[in-house]
Amino acid sequence: MTISNFWAEVTLVESQTLVLVPHPLNDPTEFGSLQDLFCISRREGYLGGLRLLQATCKKFYQFCSKRGIALTKQNFTLKYDTNIPRQVGLAGSSAIVSATLKCLMKFYNITDNDLPKPIRANFILSVETDELFITAGLQDRVVQVYEGLVYMDFSKKLMDEQGYGNYASMDMSNLPPFWLAYLSDPSDSGRIHSNIRQRWLSGASSSLTLCV
């Protein structure tokens, strides 16, 4: 399910040239001192959100070209903001990609018929895995596309036959309250996830515990 407390926002406005605006915190290029550089790099890492905007734009153009979708020759300026905590497994990277894709679709009048929701989730995943080599799965991308509470069936037969699972929106009105806990100074979630696919392919099992 999506969590309304945390968000990623991407703003797109038409401009003469195509501009990707760095985020002042997540994409710093200027520091007050070497100590500031150390502290910011330790907390935020080396790779900010600008690469996510660029990879999404590249993949979007590639997708439309392959599908024969003509894009108007308009340029734009993209900038982003987010309050999603980093490196705690709350899908901050894919949220920025999802928001960027929504902006591009609206700007170029791409409809759900051109890019249906199940394919959109696959697209967002491919931006991260194919372009940026981020270890990721479909769950976060599906729920960001559908929003709310979503049932997902990723059975091998479905994935082999149609290329995506079965997804259904569910009623959230009867859900109990949830507590969400995370570390303020976490390790790199990508490193933790890096061998999960290999473990799954080798037959290992894993579990997720939710405390209500």
Residues serving a catalytic function are 140
Is residue 116 classed as helix, strand or coil in its secondary structure? coil
Judge whether 60 and 67 are in contact, CB under 8 Å: no
Residue 72 per-residue DSSP state: -
State how far the Cα of 139 lies from the Cα of 125, in Å rounded to an integer: 10
Between helix 117-126 and helix 50-67 the angle, nearest 10°, is: 130
Beta-strand relationship, 8-15 and 75-82: antiparallel
Residue 114 per-residue DSSP state: T
Judge whether 95 and 88 are in contact, CB under 8 Å: no
